[in-house]
């Protein structure tokens, strides 16, 4: 900024952390209150999702690429984790007890929320409409036991250097790009999610939270590809 002393600029930006902390605290509190206050039934959960989508600045707290000090980003990541865990717990109440599908549906919900919020998504309105009318797993009659792709087909994709396989059973062909191919290799090693995120961040030189976001999106797209 022309005409502004460096000392003044330093004090201005140095004070931003305090402002961002208050901003995260205030909006984060509203976000958690809105989610935790939803009735433990299907209609209540869908109403809560509608309320979230009607306040895009709250979802921006979850999905926007904000900049700040390491302390601010750590605080933001902690809030996002709390929100994701809260959504996962509430979603679990709406699925069969003990069913493994609830955790798998939770990452699908997270990705769907982000895409319904992101103004850059060309099919944003369509995704938003689906999210407001169907719980994860309800669309196309998908059941929790059916959302994981065929392990044998995944293994073929992982070891095939071309990233292309044909499934004679379904009559469909599948392709995977370079980053997806690398991820499948990591998955075949039976690594934990945190280990996969760490290696992805190192291999592609990105922030861990970006690698985590891409991993969740990849998982959601992979399941969608295998189940139409």
Q: Kindly report the CATH number assigned to the domain that includes residue 165.
A: 1.10.10
33 and 128 together in one domain? yes
Please say which residue of 139, 164, 183 terminates a domain. 139
pTM: 0.54
125 and 153 together in one domain? no
| pLDDT tens-digit readout, 136-171 | 666 544 443 333 446 677 777 777 777 777 777 666
| pLDDT tens-digit readout, 88-117 | 888 877 754 444 445 556 777 888 888 888
Contact 200, 183 (CB under 8 A): yes
DSSP character string of 157-213 = HHH-TTSEEEETTTTEEEE--HHHHHHHHHHHTT--HHHHHHHHHHHHT--HHHHHH
**Residue 218: count of CB within 10 angstroms of its CB:** 19
The terminus-to-terminus CA distance of the chain in angstroms comes to: 52
Contact 203, 188 (CB under 8 A): no
On the question of pLDDT at 24 being above 60, the answer is yes
135 and 182 together in one domain? no
| pLDDT tens-digit readout, 205-217 | 777 777 777 776 6
Q: DSSP 3-state assignment of 64?
A: coil
- Helix 193-204 to helix 208-226 angle, to the nearest 10 degrees? 110
Please say which residue of 76, 109, 139 terminates a domain. 139
What CA–CA distance (Å, rounded) separates 173 from 226? 10
Domain range for 189:
148-228
105 and 163 together in one domain? no
How many domains does the structure of the chain reveal? 2
């Amino acid at each position: 900024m022309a005409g502004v002393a460096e000392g003044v600029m330093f004090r201005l930006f140095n004070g931003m952390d305090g402002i961002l902390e208050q901003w995260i605290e205030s909006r984060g509190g509203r976000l958690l209150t809105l989610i935790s206050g939803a009735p433990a039934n299907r209609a209540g959960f869908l109403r809560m999702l509608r309320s979230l989508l009607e306040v895009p600045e709250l979802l921006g707290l979850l999905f926007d690429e904000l900049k700040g000090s390491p302390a601010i980003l750590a605080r933001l990541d902690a809030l996002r984790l709390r929100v994701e865990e809260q959504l996962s717990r509430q979603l679990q109440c709406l699925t069969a007890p003990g069913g493994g599908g609830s955790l798998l549906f939770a990452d699908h919900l997270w990705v769907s929320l982000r895409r319904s919020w992101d103004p850059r998504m060309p099919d944003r309105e369509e995704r938003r409409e689906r999210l407001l009318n169907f719980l994860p797993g309800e669309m196309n009659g998908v059941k929790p036991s059916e959302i994981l792709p065929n392990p044998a087909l995944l293994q073929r994709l992982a070891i095939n250097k071309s990233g292309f396989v044909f499934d004679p059973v379904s009559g469909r062909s599948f392709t995977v790009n370079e980053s997806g191919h690398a991820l499948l290799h990591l998955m075949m090693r039976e690594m934990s999610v945190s280990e996969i995120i760490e290696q992805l961040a190192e291999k592609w030189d990105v922030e861990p939270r970006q690698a985590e976001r891409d991993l969740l999106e990849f998982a959601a797209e992979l399941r969608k590809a295998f189940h139409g």
